[in-house]
A = this chain, B = another copy of it.
Amino acid sequence: MYQILLLFMSESQDNPNCGNCLECRYDCCFSNRNCGDSHIFGILTPDELHSLMDNKRQIHFRSGETIMKQNTPLTHLVCIKNGLAKVVSEGPKGKNLILQIIKSNSIFTGGGAIVDDFRHFTVAAITDIDCCFIDTSRLYNLLTKNSTFSIELLKHSNDQHMKMLGTLINLTNKYMPGRVADTLLYLKNSVFETNPYNFVLSKQELADMSGMTKESFIRSLKEFEDSGLIRQTRNAIEILKENELIEISRNG
């Protein structure tokens, strides 16, 4: 525990948003201002929050590092404070599928929380990331005590479930151009929220998000470029005709 605190303190030095006082530490992952998923924690009383955060570990990951690994025991949930991560399902024969890009202020467990307590996918850092690890046992304790909190988590779970259903439908009943369009629109509207957007993602990763090989992705992307739907530069993509992309997505 001492080491953990030290780790936390050293990490926080180069991050002005996160001081060392207790209050600040809670704030790091759980403030309910401008926080994606973390309003889930907004409903907790200070005591409850404390019981969760008591032994939280704040950890820094470098771009590319694995944050949690598929098939390992699910002992902690993770809150991302800043940075981007990818949620990857590692299939047989090295075939990976990127299910989601996680942004700042999101929480995730890796799948089977409460069910089998194993992680059903891998999460890896795309950029450098600050996140905290929180004991799931603390979480489970809280669930029995605060039903509003349980409901919020249920909502979060159902939400993720429906998003995955959307992914499933996109990937299974669309041809490649539709899937590429989906990926581009997802990145613009749900991840980066700018246009053009710089991407830290390799073509292989974009292909893994679209359920195809990188070669196929590149070709499809090139056709979009030739048709004037998008523009690619070194490490950015600009969507020029969003409506047409939406149409392509819709027609599958």
Contacts and interface: CB of A to CB of B under 8 A. Distances in A.
A154 B165 contact: no
A161 B154 CA distance: 12
Contacts of A153: 154
Contacts of A92: 173, 250-252
Interface string A79-93: 000000000010111
A159 B115 contact: yes
A114 B116 CA distance: 23
Contact of A151 (B89, B111, B150, B164): B150
User: Per DSSP, are chain A's interface residues mostly helix, strand or loop, or mixed?
Assistant: helix
Interface string A105-137: 000000111111000110000000000000000
A151 B144 contact: yes
Interface residues of A, number: 44
A167 interface: yes
A112 B168 contact: no
Contact of A89 (B113, B154, B155, B169): B169
Interface of A: 89, 91-93, 95, 97, 99, 111-116, 120-121, 143-148, 150-151, 153-155, 157-162, 164-165, 167-169, 171-173, 211, 250-252
